[in-house]
Amino acid sequence: MRKFFTLFLITALTGAATYSQNSTENTVSFKDYPQNLGPTINTSANEYAALVTPWDSLMYFTSTRGKKMNTHGNEKIYYCLGAPNDSSIQVYPTKGFKKSVHISIAGVDSKNEKILFYKGKRKNGSLNSAKINYGKVLKKKILKGAINHVAYRESSISIAEDGSAYVVIDRVGGHGKKDIWVCKHNGSGRFSGLQNLGSVINTKYNEEAVYISPDGNTLYFSSEGHDSLGGYDIFKTTKNEDGSWTEPVNMGSMINSPANELFFQPYPGDNIILFSSDRDGGNGGYDIYSISVNE
C-alpha cells in the first residue's frame, strides 16, 4: 500500500462495468474508467477537492502548486475557465484569500451558495464559509457552534438541504482516528447537536472527504478501513427508514485503486463524478479525475 501523502488540510487537516458488494440496492455502475483532467489542472504538486458550483458553473479546486513550475507552496483555491480536458482551459487563483496561510476546499453549501473551506497553518485552523462568485471572494465567515473546537481538527464538511451537516473530525469519543460526525446547521453559520455516526460508518482507521446527497439519504466518504483495496477508498451508504445507515459499500475497482481515492463530488447536471487520487500514471502527487456513471 502506498504511503498516503498527508495533506495540509488533514494535518491541520473502456467499456461499461458494474461493481456490487453486500447489497444489490447499492450497486454502482460506471460507463468508463477515470479520466485525468490533464496537465493544466494537474501539476507535479497536489490537486484535490474539486467541485463545480451551481451558481456560477465554475470548477474550483485546491492545489499546492508553487509560483514557479514544478514547485510546491501553501494550499490555495483555484478556479478554471473552460471545460476540463479542453486545451484552451485557463486556471486562476481565487481572489480574496490570504496567501500566508493554507486555504483548502472542505465542501460546498449549495443551498446558501457558499464554498466551505479550511483556513489555517500546519497544526491548527478552522472551517469557514465564503460567498465566491466567478473566482472572487465576496464575504467570509467562520463556522460557529459545535465545530471548530480548538483542540480538534475538522477537515471536511457536507450539508444536506435539511441542514444536516456531516463533518470529519479527529475529536475524542470517536471510533478511531478521524471519524464522521453529524450535527445541525441553522443556516446562519452555527452548528449544534454534534453526534458520532457510529461504528457502522466509522472504523479504527481514518475516514475522510465526506459528501452527503442533497436529500440527506446517501452518504459518500473515503476510508482506510472497511474493505479498502489499499489506502483510502471511496464508499457509499444509504439511510434506512429508522435513520440508521446501511453497511458501507466499496464503489469498486473502476474508481478505487491500491493507492488513495478521496473527495467524491458529483458534477452538477451531468452523470459525472469528480475525485482525487495519487495513483500511478498521474502528473504528480494527487490529481483530479472524472468518471462517468450510468443513470
68 located within any domain: yes
2 located within any domain: no
pLDDT of residue 294: 83
Say if residue 58's pLDDT is above 80.
Answer: yes
190 located within any domain: yes
pTM score, whole prediction: 0.88
Cβ(294)–Cβ(31) below 8 Å: yes
pLDDT of residue 17: 34
Say if residue 27's pLDDT is above 60.
Answer: no
pLDDT tens figures, 120-143: 876 678 999 999 999 999 999 999
- Cα separation values, 250 from 4, 225, 226, Å: 19, 10, 8
6 located within any domain: no
Say if residue 186's pLDDT is above 60.
Answer: yes
67 located within any domain: yes
7 located within any domain: no
* Domain range enclosing 26: 13-285
What's 270's domain CATH number?
Answer: 2.115.10
Q: How far apart are CA 175 and CA 203, in angstroms?
A: 6
Please state the rounded mean pLDDT for residues 217-242: 95
Q: How far apart are CA 40 and CA 43, in angstroms?
A: 7
Counting the structural domains of the chain, the total is 1
Q: How far apart are CA 196 and CA 176, in angstroms?
A: 11
180 located within any domain: yes
pLDDT tens figures, 106-119: 999 988 899 999 99
Cβ(177)–Cβ(170) below 8 Å: yes
Closest-CA residue to 155 (of 123, 184, 192, 117): 117
Say if residue 4's pLDDT is above 90.
Answer: no
